[in-house]
Amino acid sequence: MQALQFSVSIPQWAALKALGAVSRKPFYKGPLATIKLLDIPEPPLPTEQWVMVETRMCGLCASDMSLIFLKESPTASPFTSFPCVIGHEICGRIAAVGSQVTQVQPGDMVTISPALNCAARQIDPPCPACRQGLVANCENYASGSLAPGMITGLCAGTGGGFAPRFVAHQSQVFKIPPGFPPESGILIEPLTVGLQAVYSNRPRHGETVLIIGGGVIGTMVLKAIRALEIDCCVAVADPSEFAGRQARQNGADHVITNGEILEAAVGLTGAARYKPMMGQDILMGGFARIYDTVGSPKTLNTAMRCLAAGGTLSQVGIWHDVKLDLTPLWLKQQKIQGVYGCGYAVYKGRQMHMFDIALNMVDKGKVILDGMVTHAFSLDQFEQMIAVNLDKEQHQAVKTAVAFV
């Protein structure tokens, strides 16, 4: 079968970093490309608790783009294995099941929780993180019966969504309601990330909060706040006018597109602005909570400067080598909360996996995902898909995906 496979070596990494200063095309075109369309065999079922999934659609995530362009930290490399078929925002059909699978059967339409945690790795007893319900933050991503890999799409042995078929453990598979379109199916995973961010740093009624970044994850944080019926004021900051319009349509109370986040914070929260002898201004007061879905040095430093005393900054965006001025952190006793993947939470009085919560919200109309998939490609058009993602503003793109039917 043909699949979109990622691989990189240290010499290749060095060469691409040098060429990347001139052009980004060598990362996905030509002999040095990190991502290539190749003929590979279908992965076998690792055990009888696994299923074969026939991909209907797979979304391209910002983290996939970071991987392709070698923007992610090498610190995570022990928890990945190459070559791997990328893709973790997936909707597909169960094609075959192992003899011990009880939750699904061939023909079921499903979406995938990508974490390859203790359950998938046949590790018993599970690690402390998995026992706490933090199943996306498993301590055993480089252990057990599988090759290293945090998620489907970063593991050499399981395949991923940018292939006609891949394998998943039964604990990863969630049935989608009848009539649920593939375009909604691939958006359940990013919705769970937004839900996890909000559950981990839940606004109180009446607070004013900020979402930095109006892309897919920022939109999902906004949708999660509205679906949970939290009566708070939400501002979204993004330099893109297109993203700003999307934020307004999805329920943002205020949109900041001019880059003046501190100025907006003063107006929205009544914070006082102070100018140091050197460097960026700092606020006393500010937003009660901030969700940074970008995670760049600029956004993180700005977020800390306009976060109120005792406030929590949710670090959702993936970046590395960030230089921070920690003065706001100690001066205002702030907290920084990491967000990665999703786990379990209490919803409507009972403990549920975030995928079940997300599917329930979409099925009941509390979250509307229609129209978010703006561009669909065939697998052999992956270069065009990447090019669109490099300039979403020009292409008016929200979520791009590969469709297999």
DSSP string, 240-254: -HHHHHHHHHTT-SE
Higher per-residue confidence, 116 vs 73:
116
CA nearest to 378, candidates 343, 403, 357, 352: 403
Percent of the chain with pLDDT over 90: 95
Q: 2 pLDDT band (50/70/90 cuts)?
A: very high
Give yes or no: residues 144 and 88 share one domain.
yes
Q: Which domain holds residue 318?
A: 192-338
Give yes or no: residues 243 and 388 share one domain.
no
Q: Is the residue at 345 inside a domain? A: no
Which stretches within 106-260 are classed as H helix?
Answer: 128-131, 182-185, 188-200, 216-227, 241-249
pTM passes above 0.85 = yes
Give yes or no: residues 219 and 314 share one domain.
yes
Q: 321 pLDDT band (50/70/90 cuts)?
A: confident
Whether 239 contacts 216, CB under 8 Å: no
Q: Is the residue at 131 inside a domain? A: yes
CATH number of the domain bearing residue 311: 3.40.50.720
Give yes or no: residues 13 and 109 share one domain.
yes
Give yes or no: residues 231 and 295 share one domain.
yes
Whether 92 contacts 64, CB under 8 Å: no
CATH number of the domain bearing residue 15: 3.90.180.10
Looking at 338, 360, 381, the residue that finishes a domain is 338
Give yes or no: residues 169 and 196 share one domain.
no
Residues 6+ away with beta carbon under 8 Å from 118: 124, 126, 127, 130, 135, 138, 140, 144
pLDDT one-digit tens code per residue, 249-302: 999 999 999 999 999 999 999 999 999 999 999 999 999 999 999 999 999 999
CA distance linking residue 47 with residue 24, whole number of Å: 40
**Cα angle: 288, vertex 292, 294; to 5 degrees:** 165
Give yes or no: residues 244 and 177 share one domain.
no
Q: Is the residue at 261 inside a domain? A: yes
Give yes or no: residues 332 and 373 share one domain.
no
pLDDT one-digit tens code per residue, 111-122: 999 999 999 999
Average pLDDT, the chain: 96
Q: What is the pLDDT of residue 128?
A: 98
CA distance linking residue 308 with residue 366, whole number of Å: 30
Rg (CA), the chain: 21
Residue 20 in this model has a pLDDT that exceeds 90: no
pLDDT one-digit tens code per residue, 363-400: 999 999 999 999 999 999 999 999 999 999 999 999 99
- Mean pLDDT on 109-134: 97
